[in-house]
Amino acid sequence: MGQITVETCEIEGLKIITPKVFGDARGYFMETYHYEDYKAAGIPEVFVQDNQSASKRGVLRGLHFQKEFPQDKLVRVIRGEVFDVAVDLREDSKTFGKWYGIVLSEENKKQFFIPKQFAHGYLVLSEYAEFCYKCSDFYHPGDDGGIRYNDPEIGIDWPITEDMELLMVERDINWGGLKEYRENKA
Task: Give the separation between CA 134 and CA 14, rounded to whole angstroms.
Answer: 15
Residue type for position 133? Y
End-to-end CA distance of the chain: 45
Pair 13, 120: CB distance under 8 Å? no
Catalytic residue selected from 64, 100, 120, 181? 64
Q: Decide if 120 is catalytic.
A: no
Catalytic residue selected from 38, 100, 122, 133? 133
Q: Decide if 33 is catalytic.
A: no
The SS3 call for residue 31 is: coil
Give the distance from CA 63 to its chain's centroid.
Answer: 9
Pair 124, 58: CB distance under 8 Å? yes
Task: Give the separation between CA 104 and CA 81, rounded to whole angstroms.
Answer: 6
Active-site residue list:
64, 133
